Structure 1
Amino acid sequence: MKTWEDFKTNPRSFTNISEEEVNMIDTLAFLHATRIKMNISQTALSQKIGMSQSQIAKLENLDVQPTLKTLEKYASGLGLKIKLSVIPA
């Protein structure tokens, strides 16, 4: 099974994805992996943050593109915060 890291390290794996989308996927992949490491089920997280389990599943499967507010909500359910930074282009 290929992982997100496999795809990122092989530029021929995808061609039509923006840097912003890669950043969003990286963030969501980190949150998803953290949820699993913390042994928190999708159901438990969904109850904690007021979303349905199916919404969590859609996020984690990249069936929907999350907003910053949604990522912040997901992170807060894990006891984390999203921190943005501005850097020179």
Structure 2
Amino acid sequence: MKLNDIEDSFSSIPEDEKVIIDTMAELYAERIKHHISQKEFSERINIKQPQLAKLEMLDSVPTLVTLNRYALGLGLKLKIGLVPA
């Protein structure tokens, strides 16, 4: 796969899903920064480890409820804001 292919596939993702992807990426980075294993974190937030792996690999799009559960497991809270369109 070439860089142009990746850019093309990313540009085809709806904007609202990009926000979810970016948020999931930030949460994943926080988990790694705190040296928390997937197994430990999945137990902490009561999600099966394979399901957590799918979320982190973006094989499935997380809901806001799931993103919030993930954030809370890291001692964080999601904040949704509004900006001019």
User: Normalized against structure 2, the TM-score is what?
Assistant: 0.86
Aligned length in residues: 82
For 2:28, the aligned partner's letter is H
Aligned to 2:23: 27
2 CA distance for matches of 1:87 and 1:15? 21
CA offset at residue 58 of structure 1? 0.5
2 CA distance for matches of 1:26 and 1:60? 11
More relative contact order in 1 or in 2 (CA 8 Å, sep 6+)? 2
Instruction: Give the alignment's Cα RMSD to 1 decimal.
Output: 1.9
Q: Aligned pair 1:68/2:64, yes or no? A: yes
What does residue range 11-50 of structure 1 map to in structure 2 within 5 Å? 11-12=7-8, 14-50=10-46
The runs of 5 or more residues in structure 2 that have no matched partner are none
Q: Identity rate of aligned residues, in percent?
A: 51
Which of the residues 49, 52, 73 maps onto 1:53? Answer: 49
What does the per-residue CA deviation read over 1:49-87, in whole Å, with 9 as the maximum and x for residues that have no partner?
Answer: 111111110000111110000000001101111000112
Structure 1 stretch displaced more, 12-21 or 24-33: 12-21
The runs of 5 or more residues in structure 1 that have no matched partner are 1-5
